[in-house]
Chains A and B, each alone.
Chain A
Amino acid sequence: ETGVTQSPTHLIKTRGQQVTLRCSSQSGHNTVSWYQQALGQGPQFIFQYYREEENGRGNFPPRFSGLQFPNYSSELNVNALELDDSALYLCASSSWGRDTQYFGPGTRLTVL
């Protein structure tokens, strides 16, 4: 186990709805990255948070947004859900300046 936790484990939503996914980073880690992994594909980088600010972003639209809290935990928010948003959402924590990322178990989102 990596010490990174995510909630919920599974989630079912309908098109147009909004969803919030949560991640608690490993103790001592101050950086959180979020990834989207479609079935049969490798994870795609969404964004990274450090010091409660977005520090880098992949090719995802603005309806994907995030937050990082003072305790370094993080949320991923997705508005106006689309069918293609169905995927495993992974969060990974790390220490700033070190590129070893530890992944959580993921949240499986299904959009109907």
Chain B
Amino acid sequence: KNQVEQSPQSLIILEGKNCTLQCNYTVSPFSNLRWYKQDTGRGPVSLTIMTFSENTKSNGRYTATLDADTKQSSLHITASQLSDSASYICVVSSFSGGYNKLIFGAGTRLAVHP
């Protein structure tokens, strides 16, 4: 069964600190992996995308890593800001049956406190 599991479920950190969110997946066939940021009550916004051959991808203070052998990914946030408070969702893309299917994790809810 195609699954994406994220940890921790929630996280509280102080402003300025770093944090790392984890994602494990069992999806086949694998097309790519994305990290999305979702503010409360809003739609998800893509932060990074990585294909099978990419190990790391950065977007400002966000750095994602991918280990396709162990099927694990992480999202590292550096020097956190209050505006980083949101849910971060790991999404694996799988092309099958003629269309591209996105399998979403449940997300990690991050709260950044002053």
Contact = CB atoms under 8 A, between A and B. Distances in A.
14 contacts: A42-B4, A42-B89, A42-B104, A42-B107, A43-B44, A90-B43, A90-B44, A99-B95, A100-B46, A103-B43, A103-B44, A105-B42, A106-B41, A108-B41
A16 interface: no
Interface residues of A, number: 25
B105 A99 contact: no
Q: In terms of DSSP, what is the predominant structure of the interface of chain B?
A: strand
Nearest to B49: A100
| Residue from the set A43, A88, A106 with the largest chain B CB neighbour count within 10 Å | A43
B59 to A, nearest CB: 14
In the complex, the 4 A-B pairs of residues with the closest C-beta atoms, listed nearest first: A103-B43, A42-B104, A56-B99, A99-B100
Contact of A4 (B4, B43, B109): B43
Interface of B: 4, 31-32, 41-46, 49, 89, 91, 93, 95, 97-107, 109
Nearest to B43: A103
B62 to A, nearest CB: 17
A48 interface: yes
A33 B72 CA distance: 26
B43 A56 contact: no
Nearest to A90: B43
Contact of B45 (A2, A40, A56, A106): A2
Given A56-B98, A56-B101, A101-B102, 9 more contacts: A40-B109, A42-B89, A42-B104, A42-B105, A50-B99, A90-B44, A100-B46, A104-B43, A106-B43
Contacts of A90: 43-44
Given A42-B4, A43-B104, A55 B99 contact: yes
B106 A41 contact: yes
